[in-house]
Amino acid sequence: MDDAIRLNRFLARCGLGSRRGCEDLIRAGRVSVNGVVASDLSVKVFAGKDIVMVDGELVSLPDETITIMLHKPSGYVTTMSDPQGRPCVASLVPIDAHPSLFPVGRLDFDTTGLLLFTTDGKLGHALLHPRHHVRKSYYALVDGMPSLKELASLREGIQLDDGMTQPCEVELLEGTAREEALALMGAAEVERAFDEGCADGRISSKSFKDAALVFVAIREGRKRQVKRMLSAIGHPVISLHRPSFGPLLLGDLPRGFWRSITNEESALLYETIAHEDGFRG
């Protein structure tokens, strides 16, 4: 890992506990960096270069790295712990065996689909960095039927409160394509989401069949970006699912389950970002 990371995150990846728990270790004066007690939570370290000790014992990141994909269900926050006591994705992945696992990016509480985890901080950072433009695809069940003009505006880029979006891929799914996508999303759960309403406002569609299913692929990573884009054209998202991240496909992995990525998938993942900045896994 060549990039400096916050000390509490480093300690968490070393298996010393949650980030909040590691903050407590720092506040208690039990952590030193290069022989100096670390009392500032903003301290950053370089793994493999700085000497970090807890209670006088040297700590370091595990040598072995692992990368897994999780089929995230709805109703989980993408954090490794939550002070509000909400269900966390940490309970769905093998953190006991691999305590330094962390999620690469986030999916909203009610969003389902492919969520990547890794113990490789350099890889995780690279996959999220804007310069690598990693493609992420989504199926979005939206209120109403977007017009061709509205879909075209998304493809070209639209103005959000934090600036213009980059051009993206957008396609209205109908017929067999719609049914296949709904099957991957879990049609019964998606229909329940329709019945429960839309977080961004009242649903005007009279029935589940009236709601449109849209495929969207973006290469940015702004907070709630797909939901905000679709709301901006007047079609708020009812249910959102991510079937792919970069070259990785969720496939038929059951909801709530995880699996290690294959050697071939790992190679493809590294190739996705290797051409930028001389990155090597």
What digits encode the pLDDT tens for the residues 82-104? 888 899 999 999 988 887 789 99
Q: Are residues 139 and 231 in the same domain?
A: yes
pLDDT of 12 > 50? The answer is yes
> Active site residue: 40, 55, 108, 143, which one?
108
Check residue 99 and give its pLDDT. Answer: 78
Highest mean pLDDT among 111-125, 159-173, 263-277: 159-173
Same domain, 164 and 100: no
Rounded distance, CA 192 to CA 187, Å?
9
Q: Rg of the Cα trace of the chain?
A: 21
Task: Give the residue from 214, 211, 229 showing the smallest Cα distance to 156.
Answer: 229
Q: Are residues 20 and 75 in the same domain?
A: no
Q: What is the CATH number of the domain that holds 48?
A: 3.10.290.10
Note the pLDDT tens digit of each residue in 18-55. Answer: 778 889 999 999 999 999 999 888 899 987 789 999 99
Report the range of poorest mean pLDDT among 88-92, 187-191, 211-215.
187-191
Shared domain check, 187 and 144: yes
Confidence of residue 244 (pLDDT cuts 50, 70, 90): very high
Please indicate, yes or no, if residue 232 is contained in any of the structural domains: yes
Closest by CA position to 226, among listed 129, 20, 236: 236
User: CA-to-CA distance for 10 and 122, rounded, in angstroms?
Assistant: 12
- CA–chain centroid gap for 260, Å, is 16
The whole model's pTM is what?
Answer: 0.79
Domain match, 240 and 261 both: no
Helix (H, G, I), strand (E, B) or coil at 47: coil
- Does residue 102 sit in helix, strand or coil? strand
Asked if 23 and 41 touch (Cβ cutoff 8 Å), the reply is: yes
Q: Which two tokens stand for residue 118?
A: 């890794």
- Residues 26 and 114 occupy one common structural domain: no
Q: Range of 227's domain? A: 135-245
Domain for residue 200, yes or no? yes
Closest CA to 12 of 119, 108, 129, 104: 119
**Is 108 an annotated catalytic residue?**
yes
